[in-house]
Chain A
Amino acid sequence: MDAFLLQILNGLDKGSAYALIALGLTLIFGTLGVVNFAHGALFMIGAFCAVTVRKFLNLSVETIDPERTDFLGNPLKVKTPYVENWFGPEFGGLIIDWSVPIAILFAIPIMIAVGFIMERGLIKHFYKRPHADQILVTFGLAIVLQEVIKYFYGANPIPTPAPDALNGVANLGAIIGMDLIYPVWRIVYFCFACLIISGVFAFLQFTTFGMVVRAGMADRETVGLLGINIDRRFTIMFGIAAAVAGLAGVMYTPINSPNYHMGMDFLVLSFVVVVVGGMGSLPGAVLAGFVLGILESFASMEWAINLIPGINQIIIYLVAIVILLVRPRGLMGRKGVMED
């Protein structure tokens, strides 16, 4: 029973990342009609925002310690971060320790700017081109972005830990007398994902801007005829989608050390999530993200692997095939989307 509940938690946790990326993908597809294969790269850039903030906070002044030597036998250069010099070792250390949450503040404007530049600089030229062209150009962009990151940060994963206060484990089963140990940061990640998803839905549902965007998604031409500059709003939505992916990346860094390739690792799975959820359906993307995350976790259990060897590697694609055979438009897909 404990193992079963743990895998549900793992699934929700994995599903959080899938859902956040798929949500952004669907926002872009629903508004601009673009199949954005560079969306995984936005997730990766978000993660590297956290890495960069941590690097900045760790910028140090070097002092020579004559008592100790380095690997070449020269006097050791001891590094002390500037923030520790300015704010004292305790508060300065605390700032560095909380670098990942702090990075959220920096990642939001950066990711919106990256989204704007991507959309205005490249993707808008492909609105009227076939989806195959859009896929090729955005996939190419993704490769360029990851190579740029690799050039500056290298190919090795870079550890970006969670704050010490959120680095331990919590016993979620204590209330019901069970032993259900789970990492605190993964719980934080799930809650954060729920918050972001709720925020995006509330923004679209309860604001005038969101109402216009929804109207534009339903009938772009009519909204345009009413004198509303829907293109500008859609560009803003591209920026918001980029920020959602970026925030998912920032908060993911303590779970797995970020590397330049992490966007590609999520990209294909997130596309499967979008297709299973139904192209253009925001609730479908979120639902499919969590469902596939949970199924993937269950498929990694020993009994599942013993039953069907290799099931852990194919489960998502297997489920996608079954769902698309039974419901060709996905779980919550709308008629007419990508069917012309």
Chain B
Amino acid sequence: MSKLDVSRRGLLRTGAVTGAGLALPTIFTAQSASAFTNDPTGGTVTLGFNVPQTGPYADEGADELRAYELAVDHLNGEGDGGMLNSFSSKALQGNGILGKKVEYVTGDTQTKSDAARASAKSMIEKDGAIMISGGSSSGVAIAVQGLCQEAGVIFMAGLTHSNDTTGKDKKANGFRHFFNAYMSGAALAPVLKNLYGDDRKAYHLTADYTWGWTQEESIKAATEALGWETVNTVKTPLAATDFSSYIAPVLNSGADVLILNHYGGNMVNSLTNAVQFGLREKEVNGKNFEIVVPLYSRLMAKGAGANVKGIHGSTNWHWSLQDEGSKAFVRSFGTKYGFPPSQAAHTCYVQTLLYADAVQRAGSFNPCAVGEALEGFEFDGMGNGKTLYRADDHQCFKDVLVVRGKENPTSEFDLLEVVEVTPREQVEYAPDHPMFAGGQLGSCNPGA
């Protein structure tokens, strides 16, 4: 019979060694869990889609949500796969992201910066979202991008067109697929020159906020480079509904082109008012008076009705494109929802796939690894031709479409027609271009 002789000191020593041994893997796990914000540890990964679900951009937000839902379906191997079939990268297999099933939560930005930040914060802190995507306003996108940088999650911007998003307000954790105001100007200018010549006098009406300012600066620089003279630039309040008092001075200003740096409800109303005042039938300086809308949206064009006919502008993407990626996306979206997707839906869908692909290629959800995978990434098959995610500013460079309001639409969706696909080289600019100066990308923040 043996006797177990255990001293108090020995028990403590054994206990300490055993405890440390047991705790060791936990410490490592805890360290790896806290390496970045919201590391998904279970069988699922949560994405946060932050779009306007109420307010004036609610319809655009609804279309964005449809696209996100479709992207999640395709990532999880449901549906026909959409653009996964045409995407040049074949890292995604339709089994989620890194084998984890994709789930999502949604937030309502209300197109207000503070509300958008609050909903993004809630999705990150309460729902464990590892990536935030969305937008319909540059002010909101810039605010949410800043929050994601602080929180240590990736922000895949939705519809945001201000130069500032990837200019003075760019952030290492933020990435934009959508084109910007500079690109609109660069794409439109040659087309405007061919259509209206190089001896024109332009009058600008501009929405008085970040997007409007950069849009005006961009199109003004592009048209002045053609030889056009800028007669006047007038800022209009974002809350304005009746633009008659801003349109009336245009009549006797000597201008023969009106450029409406307006989006959404502003664009619908200012264009409607301009057409009401007979500007399109007017002749000034021996030329037909023309109206230009630098940033077009099909959803907004619908609101302006017949007033968009013959009016030129630019857009990021259009459902009538005939490349394999666009056809695949339109087929998936149209089959599921019964109508073609908007450009906002397209960019949100693409951003979701690009994020998932970057995680897959990086082999990690760590935002810094994902950022590295996106930086300098070149891809094709997503509807815009060969595209580059530039490392210097996290801006995508791709072809830009110049469109015109269709004279004889065949349906309520058939409002715009593509008149030119401006090649990527024509809309590229140096990372230190003055219109984008003033900010630093900084370093990536993994959070935690």
Contact surface of A with B, Cβ cutoff 8 Å: 2-3, 6-7, 10-11, 13-14, 68, 70-72, 76, 150, 154-159, 161, 167-169, 179, 181-183, 185-186, 255-257, 259, 261-262, 265, 296-297, 300-302, 305, 312-313
Interface residue B245 (Cβ < 8 Å from any Cβ of A): yes
B335 near A185 with CB under 8 A, answer no
Interface residue B304 (Cβ < 8 Å from any Cβ of A): yes
B304 near A169 with CB under 8 A, answer no
The residues of A that contact B320 with a CB separation of less than 8 Å are 71
| Residues 268-323 (chain B) with a chain A CB within 8 angstroms | 268-269, 272-273, 276-278, 281-282, 299-300, 302-307, 319-320
B244 near A186 with CB under 8 A, answer yes
A312 near B306 with CB under 8 A, answer no
A71 near B59 with CB under 8 A, answer no
Q: A183 with B277: in contact, given A7-B248, A159-B305 (CB under 8 Å)?
A: yes
The residues of A that contact B299 with a CB separation of less than 8 Å are 156
Residue of B242, B278, B340, B414 near A169 (CB, 8 A) is B278
20 more CB-based (< 8 A) A-B contacts, given A169-B277, A186-B276, A257-B304: A14-B244, A14-B245, A68-B410, A72-B330, A76-B411, A157-B268, A168-B278, A181-B277, A182-B277, A255-B273, A256-B241, A257-B269, A257-B272, A259-B265, A296-B245, A300-B245, A301-B245, A302-B234, A312-B245, A313-B239
Interface residue B143 (Cβ < 8 Å from any Cβ of A): no
A274 to chain B, nearest CB (A): 19
C-alpha gap A257/B306 in the complex (Å): 12
C-alpha gap A13/B319 in the complex (Å): 40
Residue of A13, A181, A302 near B251 (CB, 8 A) is A181
A72 near B59 with CB under 8 A, answer no
Q: A154 with B59: in contact, given A262-B241, A301-B245 (CB under 8 Å)?
A: yes
Interface residue B413 (Cβ < 8 Å from any Cβ of A): yes
B334 near A71 with CB under 8 A, answer yes
Interface residue B252 (Cβ < 8 Å from any Cβ of A): yes
The residues of B that contact A10 with a CB separation of less than 8 Å are 244-245, 248
B251 near A6 with CB under 8 A, answer yes
Q: Can you spell out 6 A-B residue pairs with CB atoms less than 8 angstroms apart?
A: A3-B249, A11-B245, A71-B411, A156-B302, A167-B276, A256-B269
The residues of B that contact A305 with a CB separation of less than 8 Å are 234-235
Interface residue B58 (Cβ < 8 Å from any Cβ of A): yes
What are the 7 closest A-B residue pairs judged by CB atoms, nearest first?
A: A159-B305, A157-B303, A169-B278, A155-B58, A300-B245, A6-B248, A183-B276
B306 near A161 with CB under 8 A, answer yes
A71 near B249 with CB under 8 A, answer no
The residues of B that contact A13 with a CB separation of less than 8 Å are 244
C-alpha gap A11/B242 in the complex (Å): 11
The residues of A that contact B242 with a CB separation of less than 8 Å are 14, 255-256
A71 near B330 with CB under 8 A, answer yes
Interface residue B87 (Cβ < 8 Å from any Cβ of A): no
C-alpha gap A159/B239 in the complex (Å): 19
C-alpha gap A76/B304 in the complex (Å): 24
The residues of B that contact A68 with a CB separation of less than 8 Å are 410
Q: Using CB atoms, name the residue of chain A closest to B307.
A: A159
B300 near A156 with CB under 8 A, answer yes
Looking at chain B's contact residues, is the secondary structure mostly helix, strand, loop, or mixed?
helix
B56 near A297 with CB under 8 A, answer no
B334 near A72 with CB under 8 A, answer yes
Residue of B237, B278, B304 near A183 (CB, 8 A) is B278
The residues of A that contact B237 with a CB separation of less than 8 Å are 312-313
Q: A259 with B56: in contact, given A71-B340, A72-B335, A159-B304 (CB under 8 Å)?
A: yes
B303 near A158 with CB under 8 A, answer yes
The residues of B that contact A156 with a CB separation of less than 8 Å are 59, 299-300, 302-303
B275 to chain A, nearest CB (A): 9
The residues of B that contact A155 with a CB separation of less than 8 Å are 55-59
C-alpha gap A262/B55 in the complex (Å): 12
Interface residue B232 (Cβ < 8 Å from any Cβ of A): yes
B211 to chain A, nearest CB (A): 18
Q: Using CB atoms, name the residue of chain B closest to A296.
A: B245
Interface residue B228 (Cβ < 8 Å from any Cβ of A): no
Interface residue B404 (Cβ < 8 Å from any Cβ of A): no
Q: A302 with B278: in contact, given A157-B268, A159-B303, A259-B56 (CB under 8 Å)?
A: no
Q: Using CB atoms, name the residue of chain B closest to A252.
A: B242
Interface residue B117 (Cβ < 8 Å from any Cβ of A): no
Interface residue B213 (Cβ < 8 Å from any Cβ of A): no
A71 near B248 with CB under 8 A, answer no
Q: Using an 8 Å CB-CB cutoff, how does the interface string of B247-275 with A read, 1 for contact, 0 for none?
A: 01101100000000000010011001100
The residues of A that contact B277 with a CB separation of less than 8 Å are 169, 181-183
The residues of A that contact B55 with a CB separation of less than 8 Å are 155
C-alpha gap A292/B249 in the complex (Å): 19
The residues of B that contact A186 with a CB separation of less than 8 Å are 244, 276
Residue of B58, B331, B339 near A150 (CB, 8 A) is B58
The residues of A that contact B331 with a CB separation of less than 8 Å are 72
Q: A159 with B276: in contact, given A300-B245, A313-B237 (CB under 8 Å)?
A: no
B248 near A3 with CB under 8 A, answer yes
C-alpha gap A301/B252 in the complex (Å): 13
The residues of B that contact A167 with a CB separation of less than 8 Å are 276
C-alpha gap A261/B303 in the complex (Å): 14
C-alpha gap A72/B336 in the complex (Å): 11
C-alpha gap A183/B273 in the complex (Å): 9
Interface residue B246 (Cβ < 8 Å from any Cβ of A): yes
Residue of A261, A302, A312 near B249 (CB, 8 A) is A302
A318 to chain B, nearest CB (A): 15
The residues of A that contact B278 with a CB separation of less than 8 Å are 168-169, 181, 183
Q: Using CB atoms, name the residue of chain A closest to B305.
A: A159
C-alpha gap A221/B299 in the complex (Å): 55
The residues of A that contact B273 with a CB separation of less than 8 Å are 255-256
The residues of A that contact B241 with a CB separation of less than 8 Å are 256, 262, 265
B202 to chain A, nearest CB (A): 16
A304 to chain B, nearest CB (A): 10
The residues of A that contact B305 with a CB separation of less than 8 Å are 159, 161, 257
C-alpha gap A305/B248 in the complex (Å): 15
Q: A2 with B59: in contact, given A70-B411, A159-B304 (CB under 8 Å)?
A: no
Most buried by A among B58, B265, B414: B265
